[in-house]
Structure 1
Amino acid sequence: IHRHHKRTPYASNTFPRESYRWECKDQGLFYYGEALDSTSNKTSASTYWSVYTDPVNPFAQAGFNGSCQFPQITLEGLEDSWQHGKDLYGVYHDLLGFLPSQIDNKVTYRVSNNVITSQVAGMLIQGMYNPKGNVPLHIQPSDIDSLAPSYSCPAASKLYSTYGVGSFAANWTAHLSATAPLFKALDTVSGVAPTSAEWHNWFDHYYDNLSARQCHAKPLPCNISDPGLCIDQSQADSVYRLGQYEYSFIYRDAPQSLQAAAGSYGVFLAELASRVRAAMAGQSDIIYRHNVAHDGSLARLLSFLQVEQMVWVGMGSEVVFEVYKRAGGETKWFIRILWGGQVLRSSNPSLGWKEGSVDMLEVKVFLAYVDGLVGRGAEKVVAFCKG
């Protein structure tokens, strides 16, 4: 499971008016439906969205002018997605001989209901397999999706709100009060209203806006009316540092974070446990499951695994669950979890049994940990969310 790759910022994270354009004319976002019945000779044209603004339209576009959707995976993000797929194939096929040479029913891909994950998946699959035919992307209904996640869990949302974004908890508001001068300086350049709660109850909006620019080698913004008044690199670095602090606090440092993550991401973990059990029992032909998700997905997953050091999950960052069976002797199964290409380190003594590393941990220990928090079939999640 990994976060999508580079994208434009969300529209809600753009300034009221941006000082330069953002163009995406070097790519196409392909959207069309087609009959899967092989007997039909009525196929679809290969169509893509071409964003434009008509000069007759009297309404001004908020945020960036240009030819992009906000968000969409950029050309750089598409290229990263392709390379990600190529690298995965290089490791799990060429190096380890695990993946099949051609895409088949042993390999599946899953995305969220946000189209940017499908934009990534298409390029990634091409980088892995260069398939000749159509490839299904598995997706759950939008109101119960466990990957994003988007299923309703009021208890988890309420718990997050008691100590994190929007709360009045002193250990949350302290850093916001201390950084009031930084917010004021950012607002002066951006034109964001100082009274906007969404922009000032955490640094998420400024983080996304500034990091999206710098991920694409775009200049930091200047004021529309005063081009000499700009956000400088030291201010941007402060935003990034504070964003890292906020993610660590929300998903790891706060005592309530584990329970909140178990409630809001427990269904995905229950699904994962079910897949592992099926593999061990020889009840599934699928050997590789690939999930394209979001920063909130990975953050909750890392929270659940009690990662030793929490960060704001970067574009393309992945967590890999590898299941091993011992060759010869008594049958035993083991799991290794990778984070950022290295063995994940967990603060939980059951998971991080090897000096903090989740490395060749007996599967039964991992499954007991998951079941203890979310229950078989996520039964404990249902009870918690309704509580």
Structure 2
Amino acid sequence: MHYLYSFPILFSFASIVSSSNTTVDLSWHAPPSTQVSDLKSVINGTDVWGFVFNSSKTPASLPYSTYNWCNMPHVRSSEYPKVNSSYILQYVHVIHRHHKRTPYAANTFPRESYAWECSDEGLYYGGATFTGANANTSASTYWSVFTSSSNPLAPQGFNGTCQFPQLTSGGLDDSHQHGKDVFGVYHGLLGFLPAKYDSRKIQFRVTNNVITSQVASNLIPGIYPLLDSKSVPLMIQPASIDSLEPAYTCSSASSLYSSYGVGSTNANWTAHLTASSGLASALDAISGISSSATAWHQSWDHYFDNLSARLCHSKPLPCNSTTGTCVTQTQANEVFRLGEYEYNFLYRSAGPQTLEYARRSYGIWVAELADHFRVAQNGNDSVIYRHDVAHDGSISRLLALLQIQEMVWPGMGSEVVFELYSKHNEWFVRILWGGQVLRSSSPTLGNEVDMVPLQNILAYFDGLVGRGASLVPGLCNQS
């Protein structure tokens, strides 16, 4: 197996032959061109290609599969594509992005023109001892944000009673419904999940960012509303090596990303920033963001998060209180098109480096998934269902590694499901994206990743990241 690693040279992936004589193509394959990847469509468009940005509820006039940034489609019994009954479902692994939230503080304007209130919810924090003769009961405590009349300092961004970020009450409701829909498929429709929560069969995992735990606390009772115990363990890795977020250090992946993506001078990246510079100037004049604020002008991430969070929660677009000038829906739509274009470029259409970046920066999680498949195949694990709550950066890297055909910015609640089936001593994998079979450009995974032999999936993952992620440390330490 031969790779070229020198930056910024593009990477050459060769096919490999696995121990099971399965020929696997590890090379990057270009996705088809779409409106999302067409810069002319992005700059000259008016809407956002029918995508939804203003409600968790997709209008009844649109199919459920419609891209909805506020609440992405996921598995539901009414749309679930059932497989032939000759296949037996053996293991399911779900990974999805957290649901809708307030913006991050770094994505708020220096002074926002209205407050954002979160007094309609409580976010609970606490601790409890499990054993010991002197073990005490713990109180159920939640944070209640306030400002003091004796504190002369005004918070950056929004006033109000929210943390930035935190799951909003709407995001918590969406998390609960997500859980109900998952249970409706894997218990109600398929009879796969047990009727009652069983920690020996079901595991939930979160990242070190507390918003994923906020999601899990509402997702889980959506799946199991009648818990025998109110306490459910959330699996979490140490912050410095967390593979789910991902948070582990990979210097070569960071160097590669900075050579073609955000912050780079790569002409293919800066073209859209140059073409949209007029929009940036107009928004800066309204928001009070300085034109020298580098982070706000290396990508459209900050404006995208700020504006989309407002619309998802039925809040007005911002205005400048001095001039009275407001952000228009047309301007917001252009921001959203630019954000979608950026994610398409960063994780698929920029070329082979997108696959290389993904395997380095998300290879450990993928190797963990592969090991779960192996253990399930061998019958050595009682766990039949794992559910991970992650971030857009988690889902983006995973979709890059799976070489999805149409890459978009994974919206709130974006979901990838891995299903492992057996049939007459043979094993197969199906991957769902947004509740439907994922379409890939990789010939190894197939145009539709539907009942692909497990040995092909394992050979593809092992070829990219090594069994047990054995290749990842060496790849990450390359200069």
* TM-score, normalised via structure 1 length: 0.97
Matched, 1:121 2:212: no
CA offset at residue 230 of structure 1?
A: 0.3
Cα distance in structure 2, aligned partners of 1:260 and 1:272: 18
Residue 8 of structure 1 is matched in structure 2 by: 102
Equivalent in the alignment of 2:249: 152
State the match for 1:81 in structure 2: 175
Partner in structure 1 of residue 280 of structure 2: 183
Cα RMSD of the aligned pairs, angstroms, is 0.9
2:451 to 348, 355, 360: 360
Listed one character per residue, the Cα deviations across residues 91-124 of structure 1 (whole Å, up to 9, x for unaligned) are 0001100001111110000000000000000100
Show the counterpart of 2:375.
278
Unpaired runs of 5+ residues, structure 2, are 1-94
Whether the 8 Å contact between 2:129 and 2:135 is mirrored in structure 1 is no
CA distance in 2, matches of 1:54, 1:112: 32
Answer yes or no: is 1:52 the counterpart of 2:146.
yes
1:209 matches 2:300: no
Measured in 1, the distance between the counterparts of 2:340 and 2:133 equals 53
Equivalent in the alignment of 1:65: 159
Q: CA deviation at 1:277?
A: 0.3
What amino acid is aligned across from residue 250 of structure 1 in structure 2? L
Verify: 1:249 aligned to 2:341, yes or no.
Answer: no
Mark the runs of 5 or more structure 1 residues left unpaired by the alignment.
Answer: none
SS class of match (1:292):
strand
User: Of 361, 375, 378, which aligns to 2:466?
Assistant: 375
Flag the 1:91–1:38 CA change in 2: closer, same or farther, 3 A: farther
Question: Are the equivalent residues in 1 in contact too, given 2:109–2:157 (CA < 8 A)?
Answer: yes
> Relative contact order (alpha carbons < 8 A, sep ≥ 6): 1 or 2 greater?
2
Identity value in percent: 61
The reply to whether residue 266 of structure 1 matches residue 360 of structure 2 is no
Cα deviations across residues 37-66 of structure 1 (Å, max 9, x unaligned)?
286551111110000011111211110000
**Matches of 1:208 and 1:102, distance apart in 2:** 38
Residue of structure 2 aligned with 1:339, choices 433, 458, 464:
433
State the distance in 2 between where 1:67 and 1:358 align. Answer: 45
Structure 1 letter corresponding to 2:333:
D
Q: C-alpha displacement at 1:75, in angstroms?
A: 0.2
Matches within 5 A, 1:81-100: 81-100=175-194
AA aligned to 1:206 is Y
Instruction: Check the 8 A contact 1:109/1:290 in 2, yes or no.
Output: yes
Q: SS at 1:315's partner residue?
A: coil
**Aligned partners of 1:40 and 1:339: how far apart in 2?**
49
Match of 1:108 in 2: 203
Once the two structures are TM-superposed, the CA of residue 141 in structure 1 deviates from its matched residue by 0.2
What is the DSSP-based 3-state SS (H/G/I as helix, E as strand, rest coil) of the residue aligned with 1:213?
helix
- Greater helix proportion: 1
Q: Distance in 2 between matches of 1:103 and 1:91?
A: 16
Matched to 2:334, the amino acid is: S
Q: Deviations over 1:130-158 (max 9, x none)?
A: 21311000000000000000000000011
Counterpart residue identity of residue 357, structure 2: A
The residue aligned with 2:131 is 37
- Answering whether residue 329 of structure 2 is matched by residue 233 of structure 1, we say yes
- What is the CA distance between 1:225 and its match in structure 2? 1.5
| Dislocated runs of 4+, deviation >6 Å | none
SS of the aligned residue for 2:235 comes to coil
Distance 2:427 2:243 in 1: 26
